[in-house]
């Protein structure tokens, strides 16, 4: 069994000494050259000898050795960095156990590293694992011509490294919160590592509302020409019950790498009905058509009885880009008076009439009228 984070602690007085770290780099360079750790990722053809997945899993289960994984973790606990590097290097080319069992053990060891404090996992160890010579390849289930690892040690090591960087970002962001929103935002915007910025966002999501609102206000004020300010604004605004802030975000978010579907869905979940209606009306009036249509799809469910929303949807039926979205929203409207109004529009020969007919057709396909999502 792989020990948990709580079970692995650094013994008193033991650490990763500079000499040990230097020795690790030298040993890694030598062993990598000797055993081909720089081997390329599996290619796009299955010319390799591929394993049957079930047989490989059975071989891995038969050769599983928890004591081996525990021993590698003991090397880390004891600061024996060079010993661990040498043991892993020898194990990579050992004749026994078979490749699936070897790689399953190394994979479990790699995943276990994610539960350890970062200072117990030296970067050269992750580099060694990221270059592991994978031998247990299987055919991709959706493309038999592609060979993929059964135990993707390299990807697991990259994931551990990314998690370490993200946690470091969380610690830095937490320390910066008391310094005020401007300092927090400048540091966030000046951080080029994406994983580290994600750590900042994790802290932002968990921050008290007052701090989230302060960061949102400062980010919106300074977002012009600062795409990363807009990213911080989006994550902070989406957690507040504030339609005006969401509308302000759109005005400053050009050029920001934002997933608007995620931003709107997250933000809508925090808004009450009045705020949702205000956001939808503002989006339909002022946002670019693609984002306005997205807002209509996300926000109109639950608002079909709102009179201002209903009127705006009818006005948009003849809009060249939003008319179909308006028709879809009106097709969900449950009230007979809206059905009668759609039938009146459908008798017309213009674009609004065609969209009204579309709304009635969509309603007929969906069964009885109702406020459907």
User: What are the tens digits of pLDDT across the range 115-167?
Assistant: 888 889 999 999 999 999 999 999 988 877 789 999 999 999 999 999 999 99
pLDDT of residue 143: 77
323-355 residue pLDDT tens? 999 999 999 887 889 999 999 999 999 999 999
Summarised one tens digit per residue, pLDDT across range 194-241 is: 999 999 999 999 999 999 999 999 999 988 778 899 999 999 998 888
* Integer Cα distance of 114 and 59 in angstroms: 25
pLDDT higher than 70, residue 185: yes
Taking phi first (over 0 means left), then psi (-120 to 50 degrees means alpha), and beta for anything else, what does residue 367 get? left
Distance CA 334, CA 370 (A): 4
The token pair that represents 242 in the structure block: 């504030």
What percentage of the chain reaches a pLDDT higher than 90? 66
Query: CA angle, 198 as apex, 193 and 203 as ends, to 5°?
Result: 130
Residue 276 tokens read as 């949702």
- Residue 116: closest CA among 38, 278, 5: 5
pLDDT of residue 48: 54
The model's pLDDT over 26-65, given as tens digits with 9 standing for 90+, comes to 333 333 333 333 333 444 444 458 999 999 999 999 999 9
d(CA 166, CA 127): 18
> Each residue of 62-80: pLDDT tens digit?
999 999 999 999 999 899 9
The per-residue pLDDT of the chain, averaged, comes to 84
CA pair distance 133, 55, nearest whole angstrom: 20
- pTM exceeding 0.75: no
Question: What is the average pLDDT across 267-291?
Answer: 91
């Amino acid at each position: 069994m792989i020990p948990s984070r709580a079970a692995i602690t650094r013994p008193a007085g033991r650490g990763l000494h500079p000499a040990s770290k230097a020795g690790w780099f030298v040993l890694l360079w030598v062993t990598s050259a000797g055993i081909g750790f720089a081997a390329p990722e599996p290619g796009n053809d299955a010319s390799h000898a591929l394993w049957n997945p079930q047989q490989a899993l059975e071989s891995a289960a038969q050769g599983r050795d928890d004591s081996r994984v525990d021993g590698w973790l003991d090397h880390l606990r004891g600061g024996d960095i060079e010993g661990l590097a040498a043991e892993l290097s020898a194990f990579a080319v050992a004749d026994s156990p078979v490749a699936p069992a070897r790689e399953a053990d190394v994979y479990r060891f790699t995943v276990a590293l994610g539960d350890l404090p970062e200072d117990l996992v030296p970067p050269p160890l992750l580099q060694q694992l990221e270059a592991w010579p994978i031998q247990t390849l299987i055919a991709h289930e959706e493309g038999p011509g592609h060979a993929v690892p059964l135990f993707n040690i390299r990807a697991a090591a990259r994931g551990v490294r990314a998690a370490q960087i993200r946690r470091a970002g969380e610690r830095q962001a937490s320390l910066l919160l008391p310094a005020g929103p401007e300092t927090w935002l400048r540091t966030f915007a000046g951080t080029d590592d994406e994983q580290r910025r994600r750590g900042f966002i994790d802290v932002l999501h968990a921050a008290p509302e007052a701090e989230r609102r302060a960061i949102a206000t400062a980010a919106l004020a300074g977002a012009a020409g600062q795409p990363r300010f807009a990213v911080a604004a989006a994550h902070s605004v989406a957690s507040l019950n504030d339609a005006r802030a969401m509308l302000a975000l759109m005005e400053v978010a050009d050029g920001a790498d934002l997933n608007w579907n995620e931003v709107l869905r997250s933000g809508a979940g925090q808004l009450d009905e009045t705020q949702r209606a205000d956001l939808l009306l503002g989006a339909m009036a002022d946002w670019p058509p693609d984002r306005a249509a997205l807002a209509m799809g996300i926000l109109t469910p639950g608002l079909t009885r709102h009179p201002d929303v209903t009127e705006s949807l009818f006005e948009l039926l003849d809009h060249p880009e939003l008319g179909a979205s308006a028709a879809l929203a009106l097709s969900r409207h449950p009230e007979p008076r809206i059905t009668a109004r759609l039938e009146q529009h459908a008798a017309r020969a213009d674009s609004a009439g065609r969209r009204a007919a579309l709304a009635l057709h969509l309603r007929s396909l969906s069964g009885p009228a109702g406020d459907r999502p």
